[in-house]
Structure 1
């Protein structure tokens, strides 16, 4: 593979730190005394800190691409593709504590938490008449949402993790080394942060500009994350899932399913009515490098082997459902100038490419990941209704999603069975949300991850042998990075 040239959007935070002139430079205070305490003292500086907290979505590999690896590639939707041994290990469920992608994800997510903590700490202390109390409350609500979202990604992938709820003010190991909180404790903190965000006047909209409303934390985003957290935690609360899903569906923000599924991913309809929150890649020096990693030579303009190859099992799932609309929006078949061990062990074989991002743009694409969109919430509502023993109502919600892609309603015999509807909803989520970093969460939430992975019938064409994933309970969570265990002896590793 060619060297990966990545232009990551890094936002400069220009802080006006005026100092009094002094004739004798020896009387100047040490540079080290310019600390958080005197660097964030005005409203504009606080706004800049908040902007820096949002920037994690653009600069963190987890939110750009690695979440797809640890969701779709780790599950049954995609193969690793490419040539990276650490991604092959993710595909094979052989992730070790020394895998650098595990450490990169962990550290970049915690970096986002540190930025959110800074905003939450400084906002109450700023005495600037230009900062209204309403805006101060909104800023704190936005930061609380961001912290909750980062912890959500940590806890669902690693289980219990250390709760860092304030900025680090000391290098003392007794201060910075924290043990793992339990998964339930982390979820409790997520829910507390989201409750605070909703109580602190997060708006339904910030104005009339969609590129602002879809970029920032709103009540719709907070209620979506609340529904997902209540569903994903070790003991789900389905009544709460339903409550918060309904708050999104009935939001004054007016979220609506797009009439054309393909418009969600054609690069021409971002910040649309279905989008609740999305990463705002603009292209050029604020572009997304991930599409170049996936797209075929006819689009990417290069010939090296691409990553995240759709699996036979995913393609079969589309075909068995007769789901041509979502398949064509999600997958593109093309002859490849390399041999693929699953689709054709010869150069020139036709293979599928991940296609929900459609514009490579030389490592600087404007293609975006949705953080949340309405179809996910509707299917989550269906799941909650079904778990509350209301399968007929669940089928009604699923049918809303199916009608958009010209599929028939769920048969009545299926809609009357809670067990049958579980399978329908899980499959519907797969077809609707492939390549959107949802699949591994879904399989674990349904308690079928091991069964699904161990029942896959995948053949390595290089040997003709079946692939044995040998999935065990120890594969359900990512390992704690070895670098973190070495630094912090209080961290207990996952099995």
Structure 2
């Protein structure tokens, strides 16, 4: 244990020194000795644990961060703050390249990428780690890197794609095109698929397995509208015997579900930010409340409306808060932060099939979540376009305030501009965020700035 804590301390200290500038990395005078940090599997696992801890603390998939901003950026959350702020600008679709949130999402993702690259290099150069252990160490680090690149790609478009910790390279990186980034991620995930096993390293599913890599790969195929590849990959997931849809809507966000593909464990059983960031009672909301547009998309007898949100009436006005995670007392024994769950694979598969005119085959996959919510099942006859609209609507109801789903779903389906009807400041160029000004000042090769900024 002392060794693990020591290695985590070394990694953390190194990242503070070397990742402060992100892509423009300081000259590594304080470079960690990879022969020491990666001398055996125990120390390598400690380095990987430090990466997971940092992801939980600050990353695009850290619960309550980017998912909240993207929910307000689209049409799931209304922001009730009144003072000018970066948070308010995101809600109003008025972000600029000096916005702190725009920078922090970029910075945290690249910090995670830098750590993953350090692990990849250390594991590869180690003589003390067995070949079998190297496979999962490399596989998990490469998978984490791929997930970070995917979110950066969807948010910022053309981005740098660092694959090493060499400051001489990272200091002057040019942007990689949107399509090439997706291609690079695909190749990395195909490699991950050969390195990881379907079995989990932990029964709590707190470390990603091969199936997680397959889901992210399917999301890449969906982003490229390669429906047949997505279909084949997603069928592999939904047919896996280690997963099953949770039939009880009240248990979907409990850590023991067989529908969970990957989740992050909080330190010391602390309550998750998702349980408190949306919480308010006996008052009007001071930060966020669910938008009327989201609330009105639910039928009153939809169990998700009854169990995943709560109403608060104040001064005669009724507001709704997100209530998916419920443990707020600090003694959280039942909830981990869910990153990916099986329902996403079902709805993506329904979409991929519908896009190929396989309407009848798609219906059972959208009906699984509808059935659990006690909604009427969709039946034939139904047109392709109507079914695709229903799938997008079901995505909205199933994944509100989760993992930036709404933004990614609207982007993938080419419908982000439908936000113009409810968000008066929305412009076409808001499909991408600006590259942070700080980064362009450090590296002029990141020019030109994204259109509109």
The alignment's TM-score, normalised by the length of structure 1, stands at: 0.80
Give the structure 2 partner of residue 308 of structure 1.
Answer: 288
Give the structure 2 partner of residue 204 of structure 1.
Answer: 198
The answer as to whether partners of 1:194 and 1:222 remain within 8 angstroms in 2 is yes
Give the structure 1 partner of residue 123 of structure 2.
Answer: 123
Structure whose CA Rg is larger: 1
Deviation per residue, 1:234-271 (Å, 9 max, x gap): x321111111111111224x210011112113xxx313
Distance 1:450 1:121 in 2: 42
Give the structure 2 partner of residue 465 of structure 1.
Answer: none
| Correspondences of 1:205-224 after superposition (within 5 Å) | 205-206=199-200, 209-211=202-204, 214-224=205-215
Are residues 351 and 117 of structure 1, via their aligned partners in 2, closer, same or farther at CA, if it must alter by over 3 Å?
A: same
Are residues 34 and 181 of structure 1, via their aligned partners in 2, closer, same or farther at CA, if it must alter by over 3 Å?
A: closer
**Is the aligned partner of 1:260 residue 2:248?**
yes
Distance 2:374 2:221 in 1: 31
Give the structure 2 partner of residue 330 of structure 1.
Answer: 308
**Is the aligned partner of 1:225 residue 2:216?**
yes
Are residues 330 and 279 of structure 1, via their aligned partners in 2, closer, same or farther at CA, if it must alter by over 3 Å?
A: same
Give the structure 1 partner of residue 420 of structure 2.
Answer: 454
Are residues 396 and 292 of structure 1, via their aligned partners in 2, closer, same or farther at CA, if it must alter by over 3 Å?
A: closer
Are residues 317 and 259 of structure 1, via their aligned partners in 2, closer, same or farther at CA, if it must alter by over 3 Å?
A: same
Distance 2:266 2:52 in 1: 12
The answer as to whether partners of 1:289 and 1:363 remain within 8 angstroms in 2 is no
- Which runs of 5 or more residues in structure 1 are unaligned? 1-10, 18-30, 337-346, 457-467
Deviation per residue, 1:124-174 (Å, 9 max, x gap): 22112xx33111111111111111111111101111110010113x3x5x6
Are residues 117 and 282 of structure 1, via their aligned partners in 2, closer, same or farther at CA, if it must alter by over 3 Å?
A: same
The secondary structure found in structure 2 opposite 1:64 is: coil
Give the structure 2 partner of residue 293 of structure 1.
Answer: 277
The alignment's TM-score, normalised by the length of structure 2, stands at: 0.88
Give the structure 1 partner of residue 19 of structure 2.
Answer: none
Distance 1:367 1:88 in 2: 29
The answer as to whether partners of 1:103 and 1:481 remain within 8 angstroms in 2 is yes
Bigger mean CA deviation after superposition, 274-283 or 237-246: 274-283
**Is the aligned partner of 1:433 residue 2:399?**
yes
For the aligned residues, what is the CA RMSD?
A: 2.4
The answer as to whether partners of 1:291 and 1:365 remain within 8 angstroms in 2 is no
Give the structure 1 partner of residue 146 of structure 2.
Answer: 148
Are residues 16 and 334 of structure 1, via their aligned partners in 2, closer, same or farther at CA, if it must alter by over 3 Å?
A: closer
1:318 to 290, 293, 298: 298
**Is the aligned partner of 1:95 residue 2:86?**
no
Distance 2:293 2:30 in 1: 57
| Correspondences of 1:13-24 after superposition (within 5 Å) | 13-14=6-7
Query: C-alpha displacement at 1:428, in angstroms?
Result: 0.8
Aligned residues between the structures: 426
Query: C-alpha displacement at 1:13, in angstroms?
Result: 4.5
Distance 2:89 2:295 in 1: 22
Bigger mean CA deviation after superposition, 274-283 or 186-195: 274-283
The secondary structure found in structure 2 opposite 1:317 is: coil
Are residues 474 and 247 of structure 1, via their aligned partners in 2, closer, same or farther at CA, if it must alter by over 3 Å?
A: same
Give the structure 1 partner of residue 435 of structure 2.
Answer: 480
Give the structure 2 partner of residue 398 of structure 1.
Answer: 366
